Amino acid sequence: MQTCKKNTSIKSSVEITVRNFLIINLKNLLNKRLKAKI
């Protein structure tokens, strides 16, 4: 039971980090495009 809980918590934390990483990348791309247009 404990190992399962640990695995799920690790998976959720990884998903959160991946989401944050993707969001940051998207924001950077949008900023670059806006700057390029200007």
What is the residue extent of each domain of the chain?
1-38
C-alpha 13 chain-centroid distance: 10
State pTM to two decimals.
0.61
- Cα(9)–Cα(1) distance, rounded to whole angstroms? 12
- Cα(31)–Cα(25) distance, rounded to whole angstroms? 10
Average pLDDT of the chain is 88
pLDDT digit string, tens, across residues 1-38: 566 777 788 889 999 999 999 999 999 999 999 888 76
DSSP summary character for residue 38: -
- Cα(38)–Cα(17) distance, rounded to whole angstroms? 32
